Amino acid sequence: MASKKYYAIITAGGSGRRMHSAVPKQFLDLDGKPILLRTIELFTSLDLPLEIVLVLPPSHIEEWKKFYNEHDLLFSHRIVPGGLTRFHSVRSALEVIPDGAVVAVHDGVRPIVPRTLLKELLTYKIDDECSGVIPVVSVVESMRKKVYDENGAAVSTKPAVREDYMLVQTPQVFDSTRLKKAYKKPYSPTFTDDATVMESSGYKFDTIEGSKFNLKITTPEDLKFAKVLLPLI
């Protein structure tokens, strides 16, 4: 019986706009290494036969190749040019992934996933009833929902029941055959992540408890916080 194959699609198409930086956020330094490299190293450190598929904006591919060669990096990976949206980028990456594999889709700016969580997600039981698994965390803050007028302008707020909501993280892990089928659908702005794409095709998946350490670095404050969290994983 052939061993299971694992793939990690790492999307790295962000800009530095919310970072107020000319450097794309995935290339910013996090304690001596680019954020993106630290994210990749999370996956390459696992004792799984895992292959990396890195999605980069076409304008940054040569920059990444130069960095890879100059720093004598040895991990194997495949580079795929990104598309107009995250949806299009993931769809392009899926074209190089075979059927019958386990595929994780992960944000390139989430470099602090606890390895125990990462391993749990990648080795989660996927079968006929369950097409994959996503990490979620409970909301702990009080919440309010915006109220809009007939012109679509926010005019007030009202209390929201936080127990009715969860925050969704990555990596999101699925059977590659079913994920590839789901991504054949036309793009919709409602596709905010891979889970929404899978749901739109009727596939079921499980949720497990994520981690507060699994920070998505999008602002200067996030980067400062990440430097504090990094030694803890």
pTM exceeds 0.85, yes or no: yes
CB-CB neighbours of 36 under 10 Å: 25
Given its phi and psi angles, is residue 28 left (phi above 0), alpha (psi -120 to 50 degrees) or beta? beta
Nearest to 94 by CA among 107, 84, 82, 110: 82
pLDDT for the residue numbered 24:
77
- Give the pLDDT score at 25: 83
H or E element, residue 134: strand 132-138
Report, in angstroms and rounded to the nearest whole number, the Rg of the chain calculated over CA atoms: 18
Locate 44 and state its tokens. Answer: 């390459």
The secondary structure of 96-130 as a DSSP string is TS-TT-EEEEEETT-----HHHHHHHHT----SS-
Domain edges within the chain? 6-126+170-203+210-232
Q: Is 142 helix (H, G, I), strand (E, B) or coil?
A: coil
Q: What is the CATH code of the structural domain delimited by 6-126+170-203+210-232?
A: 3.90.550.10
- ∠ CA 190-187-17, nearest 5°, is 70
Residue 82's contacts (CB-CB under 8 Å, 6 or more residues apart) are 11, 12, 13, 55, 56, 57, 58, 88, 89, 92
Please tell me the predicted confidence (pLDDT) of residue 232.
83
Q: What pLDDT, on the 0 to 100 scale, is given for residue 1?
A: 43
Give exposure, 205-226, as e/b (b: 16+ Cβ within 10 Å): beeeebbeebbbbeeeeebeeb
SS3 of residue 230 by DSSP: helix
What lies within 8 Å, CB to CB, of 71 at 6+ separation is none
For the chain (length 233 residues), average pLDDT per consecutive 10?
85 62 82 96 95 95 94 95 95 97 97 96 97 97 95 94 96 98 97 97 98 95 95 83
- In 12-92, beta strands by DSSP E: 29-30, 33-34, 50-56, 77-81
